[in-house]
Structures are given as C-alpha cells and as structure tokens.
Structure 1
Amino acid sequence: MYNMYKGCTFCATGKMGLKRSLTTNEILAQVFYAKKITRLFSSSSSNQKLPPDISNIVFMGMGEPTDNLSAVTRAISILTDETLFSFARQQITLSTVAPSPQSFLRLKEVPAVLAWSIHAANDVKRRQLVPTATYSVQELKEALIEVLKGRCKNLQNVMLEVALLNHVNDSPEDALEMANVAQDIIKAVDNPTMKLMVNLIPYNDTGGGIKYTKPSKERVLQYQEVLWKRGIYAHVRETRGDDESAACGQLATRKRKEREVLL
C-alpha cells in the first residue's frame, strides 16, 4: 500500500492519506532490491558494517493490507515459493488494524503469520487512537479467533501490536485489559504450540502538532511486567530510525508536491 489512511491519531504516516495501492510487482521489487543491496555489501571488501540479509518480511505501517489483499496475497505466494524467493511462511507477517471482522476472516488462507494492530483493549481508547474503528474489540477478537482456529498449526502464531502513548494507553490497567484479550485468544485456539506475543512499541515523536508523548521507560516496563505476570510474552520494540524521522509512525512527506499538468 502507498500511504496509510486508517487515521491513527498518533501516526504521521496516517495523515498523508491514500494515494494508491501497490501492485504485486511493486511489492516484490522492494524485496528484490533489498536482497540485491545486501548481496552487494556482502561481496564488498570495504570495512563498512554489513547490513544483515533479509530474514523476515512484515506487511505493515504505510498501508492496510486487507484493502489491497489480492496484490498482497499474490506477493506472499511468490515470496514463499520454493523456486522463487523461498521465504518460509513463518518468516512473513501480515499486520492489520482489522477494519472489520470480515477483513479478518479474509486472511484465513493467507500464507503468513498474522499481527493485529490493536493498540488498546478498551473500546473507548481504541476509537480515540483509531477513529476509523467501527467494531468492538470483542467482535474483532472473535473473528481473529475463528481465523486462527481454521489455520494450520504452524500459522496459528499471532502478534498483538500496541503503540504505547504516555498516560493514554500505557497504565497497568491498560496492560491488564490487553492480557485478558491475549488469554482469551490463547484459550480459544487451544494449541499448546501456539505462540502469542504482544509487541510493545513506545511512541515516536512525529511533530506536526500531534499531541502525544513517549512514555517513560519505567511505564513501558511496568506494562510489560503486568503481561509477563499473566503468562503473556511481551517484547519492547527497539526504536530505530528516529534520528532520521524514519521510525514507526514517523514516515511522512514533508510537503506534498502538486502534480503539474502539461497541456
């Protein structure tokens, strides 16, 4: 997708609006050239720090994959083809804000691990953060459970993504509500080998008049500890790229250029 438009209030990228969706070839080209760059670096004799090879792919951030599902699914099928890119299905993650229960259900056959950008388990707070959310967390959770139960066991792993905002959704009470959602999913899927992870993403300052701030390290770790004590694995994502305004939620054009029409 090109330009996220689900309107998450903490995301500068989301304020850019939708321009168009990427084609399957455009999606694959990004992976192709990324792998080519890593090969060029690895064959170089310079002393520069080498970038790692591409080991995982995540569809997220600048678009809602379920709104471009045909192209995304085709791209994932090619990426996991043993005669082509040869990525394992477990190496690819599709992240969705879950616009509707039906959008979740459409992901049942997608050969990738699923991630839900939930951000808050409380409906009021979630609608504050994701104004386009029209369905309750309960409705979306039930749809996700139905999808996971219908997938093969090695694709029943799931990630819950939470952008933590200072004194908005980062309290111990918020963490407890998130733990309840996670436990409901684990119990319903009933697969001993299933792995559920809550991915905690401390807010990155986006400027542009957005009112949120980054939570303290203490509040982030407190949130994580609540989840751990409830038996839920929670990982705090390391912030990268914020010095270049390229971290999660920061990617946005500084100025939208008007297209010149030549007559």
Structure 2
Amino acid sequence: MTSTTAGPMVGIENVDMRYGGADGTLAVSGLTMSVEKGQFAAVVGPSGCGKSTLMKLVTGLYIPQTGTVSVAGERVSEPVSMVGMAFQNPTMLPWRTTLDNILLPLEIVAKHRRRIRTHRKEYVEKAEHLLETVGLKGFGSKFPWQLSGGMQQRASLCRALIHEPELLMLDEPFGALDAFTREELWCVIRDLHFSTDVTVVLVTHDLREAVFLADRIFVMSARPGKIITEREVHFPRPRDLEIMFEAEFTDVVHDLRGHIATARAQQSEAV
C-alpha cells in the first residue's frame, strides 16, 4: 500500500471496477463510502449489485480502473495483510486440525511468519483463547470434518482474528447456516466486536442481521453498484436478540427492504 493522508479505516472514492477489460462487465461505478475506525458497518443490496466486488477491492484482491481505495489511511495497491476475512464457506483445510487451521494466517503474514517458529506456544495459547471465546474450548485437536457447519464457521472467525487485524471483512459468513446457529453466531461476532477495537465490514443479504449487528448500513444499487443510501443504527449496545421483536427494529428493516425493492425494480426496468 502507498501512503495517503490519514482518514477513515476504509475509504472508497468514486471507484469504477470492470471485469474482462475495457468492454467487460461494469461491476461498480462511482462507488463511494467510508467506515470509521471501530465501527461495525454492513453492506446490503440486490443480488449481483457488487457487494463481493467491494470486499475484494478493500482487501486489495482487485485494483479499480478508476478511483481510490484506502485502508487505515494508505492507498490500496496490493493485497492488504492487516485485514482478516471470513466467508460463507469456511474453507478449512481437511488435513489440518482446527488449531492448525486457525494458525495458518500466521504462516503467511510476513510479520508473524518468522516469529511463530520461535514463539509457537504463545500463538497456540492465543488460538485456544479465541476458541474458548467462540464456544469451541477443547476442539482445537479436532479435524474440520469432525465439526458441524456452525462450529467450522466459529473456527473460521478465530482464523480471521488470530493475527490481530485492524479490519475484519465478513462476506455472507452466516448465510449457509440454520436460523438458530446463525443467531448464535450473531451474538458471537457482537461480543467479539464489543470487546475489541476491530473495525468490521459485513456483506449480507439478511436485513435483520445487518440491523442487529451494525452501526451503519450501506445500501447498494443494482449493477453497476453504488451506494444509494446510508442508515445509522442507534440501538444501544450490547443488543439482545429480543430487540428484533420491537417495533423500532422492524421499522428499520422495512425501510431498508423498501430501498432494495426500489433498486430491484430499477434493475428490471434496465433489463
């Protein structure tokens, strides 16, 4: 990354991203948004609006054709090592134990790679503490195939946090889980965010998930994606699941659903 002036933890300024060259698909256009340090932000929108593209731009997996992306005040020009990532599919390596899967980023991130060889015990203790935090105490020696889907996702969160990232990017991490397990993990990530100063950006299709977890919600238009509205969420923290039955919570969800319905209608008209 190259230096820019200090600013928000995530800054996206007038970004265009096109796949397949000059005549390829325009995924996002004029995309602009910012997330402050320590915030929990959620990004919602119709299918195919460019939410996952946004995630890859922030992590440096894609570099935009126009506009700028910055993380922690530095312009993104390559993959960003200070970011932790968790996805809908936990992609645990089946031949490694849960503990060794969690330690994997430390073998890749340059500042940890050499140190883990001489301070492995310290890192193992840290991984075991994370496992206990997400309700997996004693499961470090198990292989992924011995864990349920929800347990694998909990371990995936530990892996995303093991190198103490300043920014945690979550791309539909709970979408493949049953409703009960999904709500359990909402509380896990709520507590992790509450107990640290990590900044979180969550991409999700679940509006209740966004409103329950986030401080700010960004709604994207249909492709090519851009931010069409922002919504502050002022419910006090920590939030209990019972808040989802309150009228104020439902009002926010319905408001967001209305914006997305409008975006879908505009997409249909364009087609």
For Structure 1 versus Structure 2, the TM-score category normalised by the shorter chain is 0.3 to 0.5
Instruction: Give the structure-1-normalised TM-score.
Output: 0.33
Higher strand share: 2
